[in-house]
Chain A
Amino acid sequence: MSLDEQLLGLGEQLRAEGVAIGTSELLDAFEALREIDWRERSGFQQALSATLAKSPEDRRVFDLVFERFFFRAVESAALEAGIDEAAAGGHDGGAAGRQIDLEELRAQIAQALADGDEARMADLARLALAAIGRPGDGSNVVGIDVQRIRRALGLRSDPQPDYEPGDPRREGLPREALRRFEAILRRELERAQIQRTMALPPSRPLGELDRALPSGPAADLAAVHRVVAQLRRRLATSGVERRGARRHDHVDIRRTMRASLQTGGVPVVVKYRPRRPRRPEIYVLCDVSTSVTSASVFFLSVLHALHDSFRRMRSFVFIERISEVTEVFERRRDFKTISEAISSDAGVADVSGYTDYGRVWSEFRVLVEDDLDPRATVIVLGDARTNGRDPRAEIFATVAARAGRTFWLNPEPRLYWNYGDSVIDAYAPYCTVFECWTTRQLEDFVRALSGATSR
């Protein structure tokens, strides 16, 4: 395959991973390559990424795809040409490898890791494979083999005080270097596997998990905000519920006629019908209990974004009981102050810290009973973990029946639903349940939400 075709192939794969690449980007990439000496890998990669991947997020995907794509391209070319490194003589380490002093090898690798010397790491990785990773006793699962070899080499990031001073392992090896070394090992193992089986392994899309919503206790707020900012822009440009879109008033004929009597029957002053107070159309309930700590930061910021886009919206947070936070969102613009306000003075009545869905439903029903109508949309953000309490699905059913549409966003992967105290199935008959733990799923939901409200 020529370089052009390879580049187009790379573009294809990037598109498949969701990077927006147009023809103009590809043309730019070719232009850029014409200008530089691209026989060197780093320049080649940099020129491509400058023209193809134009956000930090895209850049990360690009690096992964680039690595994968060209590794496969090289290997398939080698297969076609029938080049076998083992046969070429570089690999008689199979025999020599047994004589390699394992202790010496370990020390050398540790040193290379500490120095961050990439080229040396690559050489040593091959030696290590020859010494430890003999074909045959591998598990044939690359990920497992990598860990096996790493353990056999005694490479650890935590300090190992047994070693004498001056040895890099005594202080623990730098995590970043370890990760790189593992990547090199993985590449070498894959290469060996390809040579054994004479075929390329199937190409997998990047794991969904790679791009899962940031979770973990100290959720990366900035990352959440990036996702939500995109969401907000999409909402703003999708033409749904535009602010002021239906601003025009209706003329009140009766009052206009009466006013016209003063001017001899000529309607000089036009009277309008009083504008009805806006009725909230969206009700959002957000679980902020500990079982969804990581997700609730995210949910709160989604709430924040939704508030900007949908004027008619009331929001509630709940743990054991429910409290309305619409005002908090309206008063403050900054997300940080909002989340602080909610956690401190919005008065989330929280005695035990355990969610009580049954109670929440009955309180919610009391709060909004009069306002709920078929034009209303109710969105619940929660994991449906009741801590063993009664789900009271019948109350939820009455709420759902009064509202036009009811959605449930569950931050847990579908795999965990209905395990343990999760009772999502009790509610599922009355609402549309969305699995929502990656940005893409969130976007799907927003599409579903805004698609049907645009009437």
Chain B
Amino acid sequence: MIAAMAALPQSVDDVAAGLRAAGYLPGGPTALVAYLATRLDKPVLVEGPAGVGKTELAKAMATYLGRELVRLQCYEGLDEAKALYEWNYRKQLLRIQAEADGAGWAEVQDDIFGEEFLLARPLLAAISAKAPVVLLIDEIDKTDQEFEAMLLELLSDFQITIPELGRIAASSQPVVLLTSNNSRELTEALKRRCLYLWLDYPTLEHELAIVRLHAPALPETVARKLVELVAMVRELDLKKPPSIAESIDWARALLLLGRSDIDAATFNETMSVIVKHRTDIELVAERVGLALQ
């Protein structure tokens, strides 16, 4: 563990190789930004369409660095009680009752606002961990702007101020990744504190490599055809274009079904793995189905 802690990557190529070993094929600037994140101790804001591997990147980073992954899934209405910390009031009550007599007010008050009564939520847990962790704040765009503002202290100084306790500084330096589907514009203040990584759909060759990595038993010719078809489907104006995860699912589905080629019939049968809206299915069946015949 100690060895893993000390082992910060020494070069961009190290990171690229490490991520690859963790089952994630970094494309374009991914490895470089990940490397900078570990060297500069700055959070990384990862944006891009749904399903291009933003969350996967965080998992792969955790595996590669040999760190624990602390994940905070954001949603509308998320507040600090669920993200930062909460006072364990049951325990506080018990404490007060246990010595109802005797102890003066001042003592009890001091007592019940100690770390002992603090429930650490993901963010506090991440910075107070003994060994450094990878902190993933997933879909930050789903929260309100107020929550974003609350994050600023954590992201720039790696500390949290608890009014009753004072400042809690990070005991270890986490690698922080924030992901966003760009459903709302994030504040400038947040962006300024982060490195920025834009992940887009991968190129043909890159996606082929990813599919081959996750479904090695699929013959290369089929994999290539699959990737080309997915690229074609993405070109169409769909409600939800297929993600990389769905290409992989499709590859696995073909393997399970034992198909050795994607012809029009196979495509129509298995299309629902990658296209998931009724209107989309009709459009894809029409356009791509024709191309296959």
Contacts and interface: CB of A to CB of B under 8 A. Distances in A.
Chains A and B come from one and the same complex: yes
Interface of A: 20, 22, 24-25, 28, 31-32, 35-37, 43, 46-47, 49-51, 53-56, 59, 218, 226, 229-230, 233
Interface in B18-35: 28-29, 32-33, 35
B197 interface: yes
Interface stretch (B36-44, B206-214, B245-253, B258-266): B36-44
A349 B118 CA distance: 64
B143 to A, nearest CB: 15
A49 B140 CA distance: 21
B40 A35 contact: yes
B84 interface: no
Interface of B: 11-12, 28-29, 32-33, 35-36, 39-40, 42, 45, 47, 182, 184-185, 188, 191-192, 194-198, 237
A22 B42 CA distance: 16
Given A54-B45, A218-B237, A47 B32 contact: yes
A226 B185 CA distance: 8
Given A50-B33, A56-B47, A229 B196 contact: no
Contacts of B36: 32, 35-36, 47, 50
Given A35-B36, A35-B40, A36-B32, A28 B198 contact: no
B151 to A, nearest CB: 16
Nearest to B48: A56
Contacts of A25: 192
A46 B29 contact: yes
Nearest to B36: A32
Contact of A55 (B12, B191, B192): B191
B40 A36 contact: no
Nearest to A24: B192
A262 B155 CA distance: 60
Given A28-B40, A31-B40, A54-B45, A230 B192 contact: no
Contacts of B28: 46
Main secondary structure of the interface of A (DSSP, over half): helix
Contacts of B192: 22, 24-25, 54
A36 B33 CA distance: 10
A22 B191 CA distance: 11
A50 B47 contact: no
21 contacts: A24-B192, A25-B192, A28-B42, A32-B40, A35-B40, A36-B12, A36-B36, A43-B12, A43-B32, A46-B28, A50-B33, A50-B196, A50-B197, A53-B196, A54-B191, A54-B194, A59-B198, A226-B182, A229-B184, A229-B185, A233-B185
A377 B233 CA distance: 46
A294 to B, nearest CB: 16
The B interface is mostly helix, strand or loop, or mixed, namely mixed
Nearest to A236: B145
A50 B195 contact: yes
A46 B40 contact: no
A46 B198 CA distance: 11
Contact of A28 (B29, B185, B188, B195): B195
A230 B191 contact: no
Nearest to A40: B12
B195 A56 contact: no
Contacts of B184: 229
Given A53-B196, A54-B194, A56-B47, A46 B33 contact: yes
A50 B36 CA distance: 9
B47 to A, nearest CB: 7
Nearest to A52: B196
Contacts of B191: 54-55
Contacts of A218: 237
Contacts of B185: 55, 226, 229-230, 233
Which one of B28, B47, B198 has the greatest number of beta carbons of chain A within 10 Å? B198
A24 B189 CA distance: 11
Contacts of A54: 45, 191-192, 194, 196
A300 to B, nearest CB: 18
B223 to A, nearest CB: 20
Query: Which A-B residue pairs are the 9 nearest by beta carbons?
Result: A46-B29, A54-B196, A54-B191, A35-B39, A50-B195, A50-B33, A46-B32, A32-B36, A31-B40
Given A51-B196, A54-B194, 17 more contacts: A28-B42, A31-B40, A35-B36, A36-B36, A37-B11, A37-B12, A43-B12, A46-B29, A46-B32, A49-B29, A50-B195, A54-B45, A54-B191, A56-B47, A56-B182, A56-B198, A229-B185
Contacts of B197: 50
Contacts of A47: 32, 36
B32 A50 contact: yes
A56 B186 CA distance: 12
Contacts of A24: 192
Contacts of A43: 12, 32
Nearest to A42: B29
A233 B192 CA distance: 18
Nearest to B45: A54
A43 B188 CA distance: 25
A159 to B, nearest CB: 15
A56 B32 CA distance: 18
